[in-house]
Amino acid sequence: MHQFPDAKAVVRALSPDEPVILTRPHAAARAARFFVDKFPGKAMYAVKANPSPQLVQILWDNGVTHYDVASIGEVRMVRGQLHGATLCFMHPVKTPRAIREAYFDHGVKTYSLDTIEELAKIVEATTDEAGNAATDLSLLVRLRVSSEHSELSLASKFGVDLTEAAPLLQATRQHCDALGICFHVGSQAMTPFAYAQALERVRAAIAEAAVTVDIIDVGGGFPSVYPGLEPPALEDYFALIHRHFESLPISYSAELWAEPGRALCAEYSSIVVRVEKRRDNELYINDGAYGALFDAAHVAWRFPVVALEDDLIKPQAEFAFYGPTCDDADYMKGPFMLPEDIQAGDYIEIGMLGAYGAAMKTDFNGFGATVSAVVTDEPMASLYRGDRVDPRESDNVVSLR
Ligand SMILES: *Cc1c(COP(=O)(O)O)cnc(C)c1O
- How far, in Å, are 31, 187, 270, 401 from residue 385 at the CA level? 9, 22, 17, 14
- Which one from 176, 182, 265, 326 is the annotated catalytic residue? 326
What per-residue confidence (pLDDT) applies to 367? 77
Instruction: Place 154 in a pLDDT band, splitting at 50, 70 and 90.
Output: confident
List ligand 1's pocket residues with C-beta within 6 A.
46, 48-49, 68, 90, 184, 187, 219-222, 259-263, 355
Question: Which atom in ligand 1 lies closest to the alpha carbon of residue 142?
Answer: 13
Asked if residue 59 lies in contact with residue 85, where contact means CB atoms within 8 angstroms, the answer is no
- How far, in Å, are 70, 346, 371, 377 from residue 218 at the CA level? 16, 44, 36, 32
Q: Which helix (H) or strand (E) holds 249?
A: none
Q: Which of 257, 237, 142 is CA-nearest to residue 190?
A: 237
What per-residue confidence (pLDDT) applies to 395? 43
Please state, in angstroms and rounded to a whole number, the distance separating the CA atoms of residues 167 and 116.
Answer: 9
Which of 42, 48, 195 most suits a substitution to test ligand 1, by most atoms within 8 Å of the C-beta?
Answer: 48
Question: Which atom in ligand 1 lies closest to the alpha carbon of residue 189?
Answer: 7
- How far, in Å, are 7, 59, 265, 277, 372 from residue 379 at the CA level? 11, 17, 11, 27, 16
Residues in the chain: 401
Q: Cα(184) to centroid of ligand 1, in Å?
A: 7
Indicate the average pLDDT of the chain: 93
**pLDDT (tens digit per residue) in 36-83:** 999 999 999 999 999 999 999 999 999 999 999 999 999 999 999 999
Instruction: Place 365 in a pLDDT band, splitting at 50, 70 and 90.
Output: confident
Question: Which atom in ligand 1 lies closest to the alpha carbon of residue 48?
Answer: 1
Whether the pLDDT of residue 173 is over 60: the answer is: yes
Whether the pLDDT of residue 10 is over 90: the answer is: yes
Whether the pLDDT of residue 390 is over 50: the answer is: no
326 counts as catalytic: yes
Q: What is the pTM of this model?
A: 0.93
Instruction: Place 399 in a pLDDT band, splitting at 50, 70 and 90.
Output: very low
Q: Cα(155) to centroid of ligand 1, in Å?
A: 12
Extended strands (E) in 186-297: 187-189, 215-217, 255-258, 269-279, 282-285
H helix runs in 43-115, sequence order: 53-61, 72-81, 96-106
Question: Which atom in ligand 1 lies closest to the alpha carbon of residue 49?
Answer: 8
Q: Cα(259) to centroid of ligand 1, in Å?
A: 6
Chain centroid to CA 243: 24
HSE-CB for 223 with a 13 A CA cutoff: 28
Q: Cα(309) to centroid of ligand 1, in Å?
A: 37
Domains of the chain: 2-22+270-375 (2.40.37.10), 40-259 (3.20.20.10)
Q: Cα(128) to centroid of ligand 1, in Å?
A: 31
**pLDDT (tens digit per residue) in 261-293:** 999 999 999 999 999 999 999 999 999 999 999
